[in-house]
Structure 1
Amino acid sequence: MRIKLLIVTLLIVSSAGIVLSIMSIHNKNLAEVDLVVINDVVKTAEKNWGAINEGTFQNSILKQPFTIVDKSENVIYETQGNHFITLYDSIKNRDLLIDLKENNEIIGKIIIHNNHQEVLQQMKRELVITISLIVGIVMLVSMLYIIYIYRTLLSPFQQLQKFAANVARGNFDVPLNMGKDNYFGAFTESFDLLREELEAARQREYESNRSKKELVATLSHDIKTPVASIKAVSELMLMQTKEEKLKKKVNTIYSKVDQIDLLVTDMFHATLEELQQLKVTVTEVSSDLLVEMIENVNDENQISYEQIPPCLILADPMRLQQVIDNVISNAYKYADTKVHIKAHIQQNYLELHIMDFGEGMSEDELPLLFNKYYRGRNVESKSGSGLGLYISKYFMENMEGQISCYNRSDGFTVVLKIKLAS
């Protein structure tokens, strides 16, 4: 590439030199005076002095403009384009003055016009034209060279930059297209191979993770069957056992089975959510259904609630039941107090304020409660996976609702905002 640039530069300089040389030779020819020809004209004029006075003299030898005057400075012959004024002006213009003699007596003068200024002006004009031509050629060659550099170097680099940005964003579907005359050759081809390998590796990773999640979901589902059997047997034993010591042990088994069932359920739901299989089917249902949902978790009559405003809401009854179960079970587990529920309509939502009367949460933990696997500092030795509120938020948002929480001076509140049917 450097050799090409050097060749182009040399061609431009050579062309400029040739043009200037031609100009110099041409102008030199214009400015030079042929002394031999002038001497012939002088001799001819002297021999034909009478013909000059009569106006019949013809010049076909000297190409430069000249004037012939007599002793009184009267013009008796003048070539076309020549304008004689006085001898003083001719001397001032540095014209060539030659005496014409007859019998050794001066009879007149021949004045050869000095066209130096005209030649100089012509040289200037030609120089300006030549410089303009050279500058134009240089600019044209420079533009062509810039286009050449852009197409062969800059454009491929811009393509590489866009390609790298796509790869960084994980967009492996856009190939790196390069022309056959690409200077980078195998270099760009290696980049495209890298893209293909990264895409294949990501696909393998995705399939591997999906297989693992499907395995966890399958195992979680399978574990729930024996757990349910153990729980049922425990309940039966609790009903039949009269001995307090044995009853206490069976009760321990029952509570631990209940914890295992909750953990497995959370794990199962989290896995399905990552597999995008936690389907939410939203329908229009009556708000009266909320009373039944609350009563389903009011086993020990620890829940009091205000009248639910009659209205139509958008919800998936099964998923909304899971949300209420999660929130109230958390209140039982961590606050260990009674629960009171307030209900009212606010703008386009039916709001349920589920309130316990425990110690609440620290303010810096409130924004983290709905994160996956987050458990607050008040959990102590209580069982849990940190998925209940995370899954509840997932369900509420997919039902076009919201879930939030805040501390009160006398406890902790979780707010469920359920979308009203339009």
Structure 2
Amino acid sequence: MRIKWLFITILFVFATGSAASWLVMNSKTDTEVDMVAINEVLKKLESHWGQIDQADFSTIKQPFSVIDTHGQVRFQTFEGQSPTINEAIKNRDTITDVVVEGTLVGKLIVLNDDKKVIQQMKRQLIIVLFITFTMFAMLSVIYVLFLNYKVFKPFHKLQSFAVNVARGNLDIPLKMSQNNPFGAFTESFDIMREELALARQSEYEANRSKKELVASLSHDIKTPVASIKAVSELMLLRADDEKVTKQLTTIYSKAEQINLLVSDMFTATLEELNELKVTVTEEESSVLNGIIANVNYDDQISFAPVPACLILTDVSRLQQVFDNILSNSYKYAGTSVTILSAIKHTYLEISIMDYGKGIHPDELPLLFNKFYRGNNAEGRSGSGLGLYISEYLMQSMQGDITCHNREDGFSVTLKIKLA
């Protein structure tokens, strides 16, 4: 509605300016010579030629000048330079003979006002055009401001809204004024945002339900697996037959593999649910001796004494990190393992070194990705979660973990924060 009135106002100003200009250009101006007045002047000149100053010319409106036959001005009704015959002819003034008793005594020159009339018309036209263009300029400014407020600003808001949606910020509504001409259009975008938010929330809840189910199943599976391990271990102690011992060892090792896989799945699921608890406390570095001893199967690990210091760690989670790393060494390298430790800056660095073939250099940046398994994992059990979980746990304990190849094997370095 406002746009309609604005256009009507612009058309009205244009029509008014055009009409005023036409009226000025076509206004009729009386520039014709008043012959009655001229005859009256001639009669008074004839009767008062000797004493022209005593004649009454107050009723004559047009300016005139009287000159004698010698070109001398005898009388004039205007101020300024008196015209000559030549100038009068040039200006197209009216020239009439003054005859007294049949004798030519002078000339009556009636001035022509055409130039003044034209100048006056020009001034009037300039004023009309100036007012018209001023009104046009003002209306143009108002129209630009109107467009900016009603069109451009809403589109800038829509652009910001689209950026927020693209970034996943679906909680920010699209605010628009009540009289916005794009109301239905913008409302559709806001409805889309609400639908996307509902869809994302539904997807989040569905994924969370799946993860909670995996966590619950993983926890439930660990109980019977632990029972299988305990029974098989007890039977191993009592077995005398070599064949039975071999079968029980196979059962125990497979149960241990299942236990590690389930533990990794359980831990990864808790991490995704933000429920993986890591409690960092100050501990003496001697706890590492016990942690290493717990994974030193068949005395395959050789390690030097750990430097005495205080470290920030969660002992149970650090044990889990060592379990994952040493399990990979036993599985993929199949060699002895050397563990060295040293204090560097604000960290206690633990280097775990095996003497296998290592991995391809292109795979090094991918080792800590979830579910990633290298080319050397073919034919070997695993989930690809061990190093992913280890990195998460080390970073949660203010430390870090890195891997690199050596000429004679593969190394994993743990950085444990000093207290």
The reply to whether TM is greater than 0.5 is yes
CA distances 1:220-246 after superposition (whole Å, capped 9, x unpaired): 111111111111001000001111111
Q: Which runs of 5+ in 1 are unaligned?
A: none
1:279 is aligned to 277
CA distance in 2, matches of 1:48, 1:418: 134
**Relative to structure 1, is the Cα distance of residues 90 and 263 closer, same or farther in structure 2, using a 3 angstrom cutoff?**
same
* CA displacement 1:95-140 (0-9 Å, x = unmatched): 3322222223323222223344444444444433333322222222
Instruction: Please give the per-residue CA displacement for 1:312-360, whole angstroms capped at 9, x wherever unaligned.
Output: 2222222222112211111111101111122222232221111100000
1:363–1:22 CA distance, 2 compared to 1 (3 A): same
Work out whether residues 52 and 76 of structure 1, in 8 Å CA contact, stay in contact via their aligned partners in 2.
no
* Paired letter, 1:167: V
Residue number in structure 1 paired with 2:355: 357
CA gap 1:49/1:71 in 2 versus in 1, 3 angstroms: farther
Give the 3-state SS of the residue equivalent to 2:405 in structure 1.
strand
Counterparts of 2:285 and 2:47 in 1: how far apart (Å)? 137
| CA positional deviation for 1:291 | 2.3
Match of 1:112 in 2: 110
Relative to structure 1, the CA distance from residue 38 to residue 401 in structure 2 (aligned partners, 3 Å threshold; closer, same or farther) is: farther
Distance 2:378 2:112 in 1: 117
Match of 1:165 in 2: 163
- Distance, in Å, in 2 between the alignment partners of 1:185 and 1:44 is 85
Q: Is the 8 A contact 2:236 2:245 kept in 1?
A: yes
In structure 2, the partner of 1:68 is: 66
Query: After alignment, is 391-400 or 159-168 more displaced?
Result: 159-168
Matched position secondary structure for 1:364: helix
State how 1:12-411 maps to structure 2 within 5 Å.
12-25=13-26, 28-29=28-29, 32-36=31-35, 38-47=37-46, 49-50=48-49, 53-55=52-54, 57-62=56-61, 64-411=62-409
Q: In 1, Cα distance between the equivalents of 2:50 and 2:316?
A: 134
> How far 1:403 moved relative to its partner?
1.0
Q: Are 2:336 and 2:354, in contact at CA under 8 Å, matched by a contact in 1?
A: yes
Q: Secondary structure at the match of 1:154?
A: helix
Is the Cα–Cα contact under 8 Å of residues 370 and 388 in structure 2 kept in the other structure? Answer: yes
Deviations 1:169-202 (A, max 9, x none): 2222122223332333433323222222221121
Taking the aligned partners of 2:168 and 2:40, their CA distance within structure 1 comes to: 94
Distance (whole Å) between structure 2 residues aligned to residue 15 and residue 250 of structure 1: 109
Counterpart contact for 1:340–1:355, Cα < 8 Å: yes
CA contact (8 A) 1:55 1:76 kept: no
When the two structures are superposed, what TM-score results if normalisation uses the length of structure 1? Answer: 0.91
Question: Normalising to structure 2: TM-score of the pair?
Answer: 0.91
Give the aligned residue type for 1:152: K
State the shift of 1:71 in Å.
Answer: 2.7
CA distance in structure 2 between the aligned counterparts of 1:163 and 1:61, rounded to whole angstroms: 81
SS class of match (2:276): coil
The alpha carbon displacement at 1:266 in A equals 0.5
RMSD (Å) for aligned C-alpha atoms:
2.5
Contact 1:100–1:108 under 8 Å retained in 2: yes
Classify the secondary structure of the residue corresponding to 1:72.
coil
Q: How far is the alpha carbon of 1:160 from its aligned partner?
A: 2.7
In the alignment, the residues of structure 2 paired with residue 40 and residue 288 of structure 1 have an alpha-carbon distance, to the nearest angstrom, of 139
Counterpart contact for 2:31–2:112, Cα < 8 Å: no
Unaligned runs of 5+ in 2: none
1:11 corresponds to which residue?
12
CA contact (8 A) 1:288 1:310 kept: yes
Say whether the 8 Å CA contact 1:304–1:341 is kept in structure 2: yes
Task: Give, as a single letter, the amino acid of the residue that structure 2 aligns with 1:22.
Answer: L
- CA deviation after TM superposition for structure 1 residue 55, in Å: 4.9
The amino acid that maps onto 1:13 is F
Aligned pair count? 418
